[in-house]
Structure 1
């Protein structure tokens, strides 16, 4: 599978590395071509998948099966409009949280979410909310406190969600089915609390949310059998 990632920050690079380790070729792009190239070089030792730097439009169009928008919410909404035609029929992973400038609230109204806003702009694509509750340091290590890192997935497109779950599972993380895309509103508010806790306890983003059910957990049968 080929995967496009728009965003060369800590999260974009962490996700690119995970998918390259899973054997997938990754095209990474950003607003600054030099930063894109630097990110690709930084990840050159990862693999067996290859990470290449390309322009943003090319990351979306070069035969990619999945595009990850690893960008701030305002940037993601603009990209969703600009790339809506080329992304038609593809899966788009949204990792954004619609934080206020001071990170003390969300700019979306209660019940709305960044994930829902992107799906409205990408009506021909399958938007999957993922990675928004994760921090880059724990994605790089893949485990925390002796346990695999959980990635919560929300989408109205079950097949796309199952495909993303397989990508995540192959990268050494545990996918958790968080239901329909409307639940992305809850996931985004959860992350708002997590960010507050980082400062309150001086955690430096060395923390993770873990779902601890009273029985063994597996993703829906579509993942296990496909």
Structure 2
């Protein structure tokens, strides 16, 4: 697969390393880095957004034409500067708001419930269970492609065939952040969804 990543911070760079190790071609673009965002968007059939949610509207509208027809993975969480939840209400999510910005794009919510510290080969296996990667989208094919990508990276994907489920996934991420940061539990923590 050809994957472009928007954002070279902790999440973007860790995802890039896992994607590359899985044998896929990846280009990471950043506003201030050596590789511009445009290069990542042009390269990827799948584009992962790994920047602060507050910056997504500005960035994505700028590249909306180039993103058309591609799969866009929203790995963001709506957060305030102090890491507290940015509440979008019960009728929307960051992913759904992103989908409104780029109507010709297949939007998928994924990787937002996984801390960057767990996005390494040595931290994915949690006592014999792989870290769960939830993957939600209204587009079945796009969802399956991202789930396959996640599996190749060493995660255990769980698919949810509606983008509105991003509301729950973002709430799960807020819980994760509260446990790790607010309660001092640390970010070497991961969700395992086990079906008996």
Tell me the distance in 2 between the aligned counterparts of 1:120 and 1:106.
18
User: Which residue matches 1:61?
Assistant: 42
Q: CA deviation at 1:142?
A: 2.0
Tell me the distance in 2 between the aligned counterparts of 1:136 and 1:21.
16
Distance 1:200 1:73, change over 3 A: closer
User: Which residue matches 1:177?
Assistant: 159
Q: How many residues align?
A: 194
Tell me the distance in 2 between the aligned counterparts of 1:154 and 1:148.
18
Query: Unpaired segments of 5 or more residues in structure 1?
Result: 38-53, 215-226
Tell me the distance in 1 between the aligned counterparts of 2:94 and 2:182.
25
Matches within 5 A, 1:198-209: 198-209=180-191
Matches within 5 A, 1:29-44: 29-33=29-33, 37=34
Tell me the distance in 2 between the aligned counterparts of 1:71 and 1:162.
23
Query: Unpaired segments of 5 or more residues in structure 2?
Result: none
Q: CA deviation at 1:172?
A: 1.4
- Contact 1:139–1:149 (Cα < 8 Å) also in 2: no
In the alignment, which of 157, 166, 185 is matched to residue 148 of structure 2?
166
Higher Cα Rg: structure 1 or 2?
1
The Cα offsets for residues 128-173 of structure 1, whole Å up to 9 and x where unpaired, read as: 0000000011111322233111100110011001011111111111
The Cα offsets for residues 197-221 of structure 1, whole Å up to 9 and x where unpaired, read as: 113542320111111111xxxxxxx
Tell me the distance in 2 between the aligned counterparts of 1:194 and 1:207.
8
